[in-house]
């Protein structure tokens, strides 16, 4: 049983990176914007955070640097896509490419750097509980932060005025505009906030998860996060669950290998993607379901007065 | 503060000038980069812009890089013009490599009767496999209205995992010391070269032919016209009786087939076997090529050459100037960013702010504009 | 249609753009390094020979702290040894794909006469280029095909693995040790086996658990693999992957691990027991000397280990008891003078059957095709079938 508890704990940790990125992309997509540049944002945030931690010795400074870097890059993306109405997909891809190159370039002198010795975070008293203690209460504070954020966003989208405005902007920008809301500024804010969360994910990866900098270390998690929003049908709680599923698949592979169970790992790795397609098919079949889930203006540019 | 004012119609000068302007800006930024890095900027620019095209051998290498980009981008352009967002060309490329590779693997005794004809079979298999992979998002959007961007993107991962499974498992070279790779394809199954001693192969000729075919299709056939209209004004297209179903399947199958062709050419050409390293990102880079090429076959040719020059230049900058390889991605990204920025000038004019109060009052509801 | 004036603007811009590029071409060419002047005939002293140009192609970044870093250290050793008799250069992150061939050709076209390819995946590209350019010498690491102007070289990493195993066997408290495996090729399986044999030589009760990441280099995945080994009860870890992630994960969990390919002490001093390193310097120096003295011949395969100073185990932590350190020294001496063999029978396979009879010593042929686990290793080798 102990093995399972540890598997659970590892899954929570692995899923946190995807969780933050997924929630960030969710913010974007709820406002109607698809950001294919998540991978690039995460990479730049990872090196920014790592470098900041190397120089200041303080994790939280590093994490903040990652958040700032993410927000900044997302801001550039936002200017292009919202104010200059460039194609969202092409711009996002450019950001991914650019982010990969810039992060590798900036990271060259940090490749052999190490961070101060990592500590094991534990929740006092709760971490001594049998099974649950090992499974849940020996995590970095941000793991709980991600869970809290998911709850907060669920509440915010459904019950707060600003959350509903954001959803209106994503579902029917023209109507929101007619009602007098500054659609483009709201979208811009969503893009920056989303980018900041992606940045947090990237920085968490390079500071907490694998305290190293290596070129390309995000290794596709940005793209997986994009799948997450669809897989979760745009609900924050499901995004986090999906993040644990996607993140957990790798840990599950190793667990099964360790137990001697023979499954071709590639097929195991395919499961999350197949599942995403399945979910997409299911929710898209019914137009009403689609309306109630997917932001209607997703991917489309908005020009006031158009 | 400068203002952006919408033009009454898209500027045709800017449509051509914009990429040129973007390139100039990228070169300028590159110049600055090299200076900051302490390298001779002229030499750096020469490595990116001149070396890759300076002689026959270099052009041969360029064609190896440019051919897949060109083929995939041509297909994607047709898709994007029809408002079908195929983001999964990388996956279709991999499937084409798998299909073509499978045929090549059979080239031993069983298919000896085909002789050189097996190359044709390889290419056809590549096209069909790519089409099959693109058919999935087409089907799912047709039957279930599932968004093709996400489906095609997911299929990229699945394709890569499929390749990994086959190359680590059933298709592994039994004499290969358990390394994850297939046998090297027999000589009869390799794509014939154009000239002795140069790596360029007939893929280049095929690409040239496809360029012409695409141009004819897009601008001279009725079906191509239908796709254009379907992309620009879907309601009008439906009203005119153009099948929206055809407007979905045709571009997807075409672009999937072309991406698959590129995959088969790559695997039976310069690489000569299946390895886990087949997917190198051509499917994604081609999206940028399609854009820089203004979604037009002629423009795409230039764009593909340009992107390939960036790739090769980046390698050369590494071995000759000691510059890091990551610069390639940086330059490509900057090129696209500047292009996207300059593209705004196609639809908008830059104007100084007005000092006089406008006579006409702004239309109702325009409060959204800052 | 574009009006005439606009058309001329477009023409003007395109022409000037092309002119600018041409000018750049002209400028650039002047920067080309001039070829070395031919030695003057009939001089009082022998003309100074042109330095030998040597190039290295790396699969990873020089800063990976592992495989490529070790190769680059070898390159620097060559520079140090031969000074201005050689000029070295390198290209990093050359993928094992169609690009590799182009890079090799380009290196050759720049005048490099000795080219090192440092990963298995360069085998086919190097063979092709070697066939075309017979006056260039090629050295391929870890490959198995040779040619007249191409020879292969490899290092006996299993010796380092064995010595690490000896330390692991001593330091483990759970009697379970773990290996993060990269790709299930004979080299890696041999290392896992040797690690196990080394541990068993001091602690017959140990078990080895293995997880495979199917890549050479993927720090996040290596972290997860290491974590799952620790979750499964292993308290000393080894790896065949190229980054320090496994060592760091061990540190985080207060377990032990080893550095691999290069000295990784700094990445987690608390967890680091020792590093099994590869010194490519001695071989690279020899190959260069062969080339300089005209003694270089192809069609050969070289496999160096502790005996030739190519493999070593360094930075053994103070936590390791002195007697274990002594036995490591004895093993090294034994390997150097040939009195000690790691793969000497009786050795049993996982199924209990003998693969090496008592006192039988495995030859290189046996060693290069190991595709079985020895007794003590848990699990099956993934075949993907």
Please give the torsion angle defined by the CA atoms of residues C198, C203, C209 and C210, in that order, rounded to the nearest 10 degrees. 0
Q: Which residues of A touch B169 (CB under 8 A)?
A: 264
- Inter-chain CB proximity A305 and B363 less than 8 Å: yes
Shortest Cα distance, chain A CAs vs residue C211, angstroms: 6
Question: Does B280 have pLDDT greater than 80?
Answer: yes
User: Taking all residues of chain B, what is their mean pLDDT, rounded to a whole number?
Assistant: 84
Q: In the complex, which subunits touch B with 3 or more CB pairs below 8 angstroms?
A: A, C
pLDDT at B197: 65
Label each residue of chain A as H, E or C: CHHHHHHHHHHHHHHHHHHHHHHHHHHHHHCCCCCCCHHHHHHHHHHHHHHHHHHHCCHHHHHHHHHHHHHHHHHHHHHHHHHCCCCHHHHHHHHHHHHHHHHHHHHHHHCCCCCCCCCCCCCCCHHHCCCHHHHHCCCCHHHHHHHHHHHHHHHHHHHCHHHHHHHHHHHCHHHHHHCCCCHHHHHHHHHHHHHHHHHHHHHHHHHHHCCCCCCCCCCCHHHHHHHHHHHCCCCHHHHHHHHHHHHHHHHHHHHHHHHCCCCCHHHHHHHHHHHHHHHHHHHHHCHHHHHHHCCCCCCCCCCCCC
Flag if C228 and A258 touch (Cβ within 8 Å): yes
Q: B186 with B87, same domain?
A: yes
Residue B316 lies in a domain: no
pLDDT tens digits, one per residue of A263-288: 787 887 788 788 878 877 887 777 66
| Beta bridge partners of residue C313, listed in sequence order | C276
Within chain C, all domains assigned CATH 3.40.50.2300 are found at: 52-155+281-308, 157-277+343-368
Please tell me the distance from the alpha carbon of residue C65 to that of residue C164, in angstroms, as a whole number.
19
Q: What are the start-end ranges of the H helices in chain C?
A: 4-30, 67-82, 98-109, 123-132, 157-171, 186-202, 219-231, 245-252, 281-292, 322-337, 364-368
Mean pLDDT confidence for B328-348: 82
The DSSP call for residue C344 is B
Which chains contact C through at least 3 pairs of Cβ atoms less than 8 Å apart? A, B
Shortest distance, CA C232 to any CA of chain A (angstroms): 6
- The CATH topology of domain A2-293 is ABC transporter involved in vitamin B12 uptake, BtuC (1.10.3470)
d(CA A6, nearest CA chain B) in Å: 27
Task: Indicate whether B230 and B269 sit together in one domain.
Answer: yes
Q: Which of A34, A105, A220 sits opposite B326 (nearest CB)?
A: A105
How far apart (Å, rounded) are the C-alpha atoms in residues B60 and B146? 42
Do B5 and B113 fall within a single domain? Answer: no
What's the confidence (pLDDT) of residue B362?
A: 58
Would you give per-residue pLDDT tens digits along chain C (385 residues)?
A: 434 444 444 444 444 444 444 444 433 333 333 333 334 444 444 556 789 999 999 988 787 777 888 999 999 999 999 999 999 988 888 888 778 888 898 899 889 999 999 998 899 899 989 998 999 999 999 888 899 999 999 999 999 999 999 999 999 999 999 999 998 888 899 999 999 999 999 999 999 999 988 888 788 889 989 998 998 899 999 999 888 889 989 988 899 999 998 888 888 888 999 999 999 999 999 999 999 998 999 888 999 999 898 899 999 999 999 999 999 999 999 999 988 889 988 889 888 888 888 888 888 888 888 888 999 998 888 764 3
Across residues A48-70, what is the average pLDDT?
93
Q: Could you identify the residue written with the tokens 């080339």?
A: C291
Residue for token digits 């379970």? Answer: C176
- Token output for B185: 């394809």
A114-166, pLDDT tens digit by residue?
Answer: 777 667 777 777 777 777 777 788 888 899 999 999 999 999 998 999 999 99
Do residues B208 and B328 both lie within one domain?
Answer: no
Same domain, B15 and B63: no
Q: Does C338 touch chain B (CB under 8 A)?
A: no
**CATH number for position B192:** 1.10.3470
Under the banding of pLDDT at 50, 70 and 90, the label for residue A93 is confident
Q: What is the DSSP track for C106-167?
A: HHHHTT-SEEEE-SGGGHHHHHHHHHH-TTSEEEEET----BTTEEEEEE-HHHHHHHHHHH
- In this predicted structure, the answer to whether residue B293 has a pLDDT above a threshold of 80 is yes
Q: How far away is chain A from the Cα of C22, in angstroms, using its nearest Cα?
A: 28
Preferred mutation among A94, A103, A233, A250 to probe B, highest tally of B CBs within 10 A: A94
DSSP class of residue C62? G
Look at residues C263, C265, C264, C274 and name the one whose alpha carbon lies nearest to residue C328.
C274
Number of domains in chain B: 2
Contact A266 B334 (CB under 8 A): no
**A192 close to A35: Cβ distance less than 8 angstroms:** no
b/e code A153-171 from CB counts within 10 Å (16+ = b)? bbebbeeeeebebbbbbbb
Q: Scan residues 241-280 of B and list those with Cβ closer than 8 Å to C.
A: 266, 269-273, 275, 277-278, 280
Beta carbons within 8 Å of B216's beta carbon, 6+ residues apart: B224
Instruction: Quote the minimal CA–CA distance from B191 to chain C in Å.
Output: 14
CATH class name, domain C157-277+343-368: alpha beta
Structure token digits, residue B66: 């440019």
Name the C residues in 123-162 with CB < 8 Å from any B CB.
Answer: 124, 132, 144
Q: At what angle do helices A161-171 and A183-204 cross, to 10 degrees?
A: 100
**Angstrom distance (rounded) from CA C377 to CA C207:** 6
B311 vs B289: CA distance, rounded Å: 13
Q: Is residue B77 part of a domain?
A: yes
Is residue A181 within 8 A of residue A171, CB to CB? The reply is no
| Same domain, residue pair B189 and B122 | yes
CA distance C303 to C13: 61
pLDDT bin (cut points 50, 70, 90) of residue B366 is very low
Instruction: Give me the residue spans of the domains in chain A.
Output: 2-293
**Number of Cβ within a 10 Å radius of residue B29:** 16
A111–C61 CB contact, under 8 Å: yes
End-to-end CA distance of chain C: 62
The mean pLDDT value for B209-228 works out to 87
Place of tokens 């900057």: B334
Is residue B12 domain-shared with residue B105, that is, in the same domain?
no
Q: Does residue B277 register a pLDDT over 50?
A: yes
Q: What is the span of the domain harbouring residue B118?
A: 52-301
Q: Are residues B62 and B176 in the same domain?
A: yes
Closest chain C residue to A206 measured between Cα atoms? C220
Phi, psi of A121 (to 5 degrees): -80, 135
Residue B102 domain flag: yes
Closest CA to C291 of C71, C43, C114: C114
Please provide the size of chain B in residues: 370
The pair of three-digit structure tokens given for residue C127, joined into one six-digit string: 């063979």
CB contact at 8 A, C28 and B42:
yes
| Closest among A222, A225, A229 to A97, alpha carbons compared | A222
Q: Beta strand C272-278 with C256-261: parallel, antiparallel or unpaired?
A: parallel
Give per-residue pLDDT as tens, B88-114: 999 999 999 999 999 988 876 667 777
Strands C272-278 and C311-314, by their bridges, are: antiparallel
Verify that B124 and B17 share a domain, yes or no. no
Is-contact A238 A228, C-beta < 8 A? no
State the pTM of this model: 0.82
Q: Rounded to whole angstroms, how far apart are CA atoms C191 and C179?
A: 9
Chain A interface includes C92 (CB < 8 A): no
* Class of the domain covering C52-155+281-308: alpha beta
Q: Residue B102's pLDDT is what?
A: 92
DSSP C79-108: HHHHGGGEEEEEE----SSHHHHHHHHHHH
- Quote the CA–CA distance of A108 and A100 in Å, as a whole number: 12
Q: Quick one: CA torsion of A40, A43, A49, A52, rounded to 10 degrees?
A: -90
């Amino acid at each position: 049983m102990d093995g399972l508890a540890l598997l659970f704990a590892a899954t929570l940790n692995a899923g946190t990176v995807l969780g933050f990125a997924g929630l960030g992309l969710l913010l974007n997509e709820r406002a109607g914007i698809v950001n294919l540049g998540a991978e690039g944002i995460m990479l730049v945030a990872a090196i920014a955070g790592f470098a900041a931690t190397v120089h200041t010795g303080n994790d939280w400074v590093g994490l903040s640097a990652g958040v700032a870097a993410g927000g900044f890059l997302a801001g550039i993306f936002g200017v292009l896509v919202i104010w200059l109405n460039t194609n969202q997909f092409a711009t996002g891809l450019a950001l991914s490419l650019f982010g990969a190159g810039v992060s590798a370039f900036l990271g060259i002198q940090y490749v052999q750097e190490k961070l101060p010795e990592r500590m094991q975070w534990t929740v006092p008293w709760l971490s001594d509980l049998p099974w649950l203690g090992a499974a849940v209460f020996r995590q970095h504070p941000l793991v709980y932060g991600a869970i809290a954020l998911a709850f907060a966003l669920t509440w915010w989208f459904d019950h707060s005025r600003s959350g509903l405005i954001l959803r209106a902007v994503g579902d029917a920008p023209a109507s929101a505009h007619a009602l007098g809301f500054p659609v483009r500024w709201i979208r811009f804010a969503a893009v920056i906030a989303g980018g900041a969360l992606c940045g947090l994910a990237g920085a968490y990866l390079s500071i907490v998860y694998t305290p190293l900098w290596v070129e390309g270390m995000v290794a596709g998690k940005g793209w997986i996060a994009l799948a997450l929003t669809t897989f979760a049908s745009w609900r924050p709680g499901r995004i986090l669950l999906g993040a644990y599923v996607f993140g957990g698949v790798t840990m599950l592979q190793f667990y099964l290998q360790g137990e001697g169970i023979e499954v071709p790992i590639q097929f195991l790795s395919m499961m999350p993607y197949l599942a995403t397609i399945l979910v997409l098919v299911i929710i898209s079949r019914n137009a009403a379901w689609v309306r109630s889930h997917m932001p209607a203006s997703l991917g489309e540019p908005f020009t006031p007065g158009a | 503060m400068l203002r952006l004012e919408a033009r009454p119609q898209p500027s045709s000068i800017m449509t051509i000038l914009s990429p040129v302007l973007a390139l100039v800006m990228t070169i300028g930024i590159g110049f600055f980069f090299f200076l900051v890095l302490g390298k001779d900027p002229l030499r750096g620019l020469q490595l990116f812009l001149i070396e890759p095209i300076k002689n026959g051998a270099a052009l041969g290498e360029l064609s190896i890089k440019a051919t897949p980009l060109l083929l995939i981008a041509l297909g994607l352009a047709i898709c994007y013009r029809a408002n079908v967002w195929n983001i999964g060309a990388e996956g279709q490329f991999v499937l084409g490599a798998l299909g073509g590779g499978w045929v090549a693997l059979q080239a031993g005794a069983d298919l000896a009767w085909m002789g050189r004809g097996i190359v044709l079979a390889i290419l056809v298999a590549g096209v069909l496999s790519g089409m099959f992979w693109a058919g999935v998002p087409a089907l799912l959007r047709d039957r279930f209205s599932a968004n093709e961007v996400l489906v095609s993107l997911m299929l990229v991962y699945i394709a890569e995992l499929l390749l990994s499974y086959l190359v680590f498992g059933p298709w592994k070279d039994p004499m290969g010391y358990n390394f994850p790779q297939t046998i090297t394809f027999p000589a009869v199954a390799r794509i014939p070269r154009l000239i002795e001693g140069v790596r360029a192969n007939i893929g280049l000729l095929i690409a040239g032919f496809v360029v012409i075919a695409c141009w004819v299709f897009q601008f001279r056939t009725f079906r191509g016209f239908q796709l254009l209209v379907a992309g620009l004004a879907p309601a009008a297209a439906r009203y005119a009786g153009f099948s929206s179903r055809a407007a979905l399947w045709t571009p997807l199958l075409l672009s999937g087939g072309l991406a698959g062709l590129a995959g088969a050419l790559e695997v039976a050409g310069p690489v000569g076997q299946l390895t886990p390293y087949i997917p190198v990102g051509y499917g994604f880079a081609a999206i940028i090529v399609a854009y820089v090429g203004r979604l037009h076959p002629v423009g795409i040719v230039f764009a593909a050459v340009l992107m390939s020059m960036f790739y090769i230049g980046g390698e050369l900058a590494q071995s000759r100037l000691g510059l890091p390889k990551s610069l390639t991605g940086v330059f490509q990204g900057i090129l696209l960013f500047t292009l996207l920025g300059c593209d705004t000038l196609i639809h908008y004019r830059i104007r100084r702010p007005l000092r006089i109060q406008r006579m006409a009052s702004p239309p109702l509801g325009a409060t959204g504009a800052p | 249609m574009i009006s005439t004036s606009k058309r001329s603007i477009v023409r003007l811009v395109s022409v000037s753009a092309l002119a600018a590029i041409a000018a750049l071409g002209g400028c650039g060419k002047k920067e080309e390094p001039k070829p070395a002047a031919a030695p003057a005939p009939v001089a009082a002293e022998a003309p100074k020979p042109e330095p030998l140009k040597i190039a290295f192609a790396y699969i990873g970044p020089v800063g990976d702290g592992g495989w490529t870093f070790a190769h680059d250290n070898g390159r620097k050793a060559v520079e140090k040894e031969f000074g201005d008799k050689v000029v070295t250069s390198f290209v990093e992150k050359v993928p094992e794909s169609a690009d590799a061939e182009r890079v090799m050709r380009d290196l050759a076209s720049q005048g490099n006469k000795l080219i090192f390819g440092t990963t298995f995946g360069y085998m086919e590209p190097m063979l092709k280029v070697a066939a075309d350019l017979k006056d260039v010498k090629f050295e391929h690491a870890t490959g198995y095909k040779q040619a007249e102007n191409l020879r292969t070289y490899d290092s006996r990493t299993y010796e380092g693995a064995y010595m690490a195993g000896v330390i692991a066997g001593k330091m483990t408290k759970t009697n379970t040790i773990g290996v993060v495996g990269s790709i299930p090729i004979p080299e890696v399986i041999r290392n896992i086996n040797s690690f196990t044999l080394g541990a068993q030589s001091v602690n017959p009760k140990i078990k080895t658990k293995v997880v495979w990441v199917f890549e050479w280099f993927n720090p996040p995945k290596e972290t997860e693999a290491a974590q799952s080994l620790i979750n499964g009860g292993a308290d000393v870890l080894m790896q065949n992957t190229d980054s320090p992630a496994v060592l760091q994960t061990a540190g985080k969990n207060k377990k032990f691990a080893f550095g691999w390919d290069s000295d990784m002490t700094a990445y987690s001093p608390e967890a680091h027991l020792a590093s099994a390193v590869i010194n490519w310097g001695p071989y690279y120096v020899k190959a260069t000397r062969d080339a300089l003295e005209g003694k270089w011949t192809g069609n050969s395969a070289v496999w160096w280990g502790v005996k030739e100073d190519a493999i070593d185990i360094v930075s053994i932590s103070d936590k390791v008891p002195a007697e274990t350190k002594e036995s490591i020294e004895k093993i090294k001496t034994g390997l150097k003078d040939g009195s000690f063999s790691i793969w000497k029978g009786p050795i049993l396979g996982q199924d209990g059957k003998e693969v090496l009879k008592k006192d039988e010593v495995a030859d290189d042929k046996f060693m290069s095709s190991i595709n079985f686990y020895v007794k003590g290793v848990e699990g099956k080798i993934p075949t993907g079938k």
